[in-house]
A and B are shown apart, each in its own frame.
Chain A
Amino acid sequence: MDNNKIINSASIIGKGMIILCLLFFLFFLVMVAYWHFDKSAFDLVNVSRAFEAGFGSNGIQFYLNENQKPSNAIILSEISPIMVYWLLLRTSLFVFLSIKMIQSALRIISSMQSLQTFYLGNIKHLRSIGLFAFFSFLLSIFNFYYSQGGFNFHFKTAFAPLILAIASYVLAEVFREGAKLVEEKNLII
């Protein structure tokens, strides 16, 4: 393929996204590790949204002073270690699935750059994107928070990963047809 700006931009954005995912995960890991040593350092960190269902960690809010903190907020320094580990596990899974999806997309982009768009490997990559997106959908449906008061379950249907999964599987079939056409074209001498 000629020097295609969209493909080149997608490749750069994809690589940037992997770096951002890894940086976010590293930040989260350091935060959890530090939490073990000094819980009071997280007195102004609200993780209420992180215990809601949906794709990813939904965001963590940092307050500058006590007045900004809502009364019903779940504060990182007050939650049990099990919930911190659940938060870490859930975030790790989302980061892992996101990186795997981006990696597969980057492999497809690199094959397009080397003029091998419709080859069988890309069908496999698209199917793996579909599978990871489906796992993301399943993971994003449910979340929970446990405190001494009992369990709080939260359910939400995140359609974005499901649509991505379906679109990837459909694209995989389009690429299968494309691979067949390329094979036939190569057999015309």
Chain B
Amino acid sequence: MSIIVNLDVMLAKRKMKLKELSEEVGITITNLSILKTGKAKGIRFNTLAAICNALDCQPGDILEFRKTEEL
């Protein structure tokens, strides 16, 4: 099982660039890139809240749970 970060999808929907989101949320582009590429190990509630506020969306729009097939 894994958590998929759909930040790029939401950014595209809102026609917003990563730099703009970075300035609005107050998180570095490097950290947002880590989040976007799925390399992050976790996300703080206040970060999630700030991103949701900036993109006018729900946490579920950014995060998605996908069950991986077991071999």
Contacts and interface: CB of A to CB of B under 8 A. Distances in A.
A184 interface: yes
A184 B41 CA distance: 7
B58 interface: no
Nearest to A184: B41
Contacts of A188: 40-44
Interface of A: 184, 187-189
Contacts of B47: 189
B3 interface: no
Interface residues of B, number: 12
B27 interface: yes
Contacts of A184: 41
A187 B32 CA distance: 11
B13 interface: no
Interface in B33-58: 34-35, 39-44, 47
Contacts of A189: 27, 31-32, 34-35, 40, 42-44, 47
15 contacts: A187-B34, A187-B39, A187-B40, A187-B41, A187-B42, A188-B42, A188-B43, A188-B44, A189-B27, A189-B32, A189-B35, A189-B40, A189-B42, A189-B43, A189-B47
Nearest to B47: A189
A85 to B, nearest CB: 58
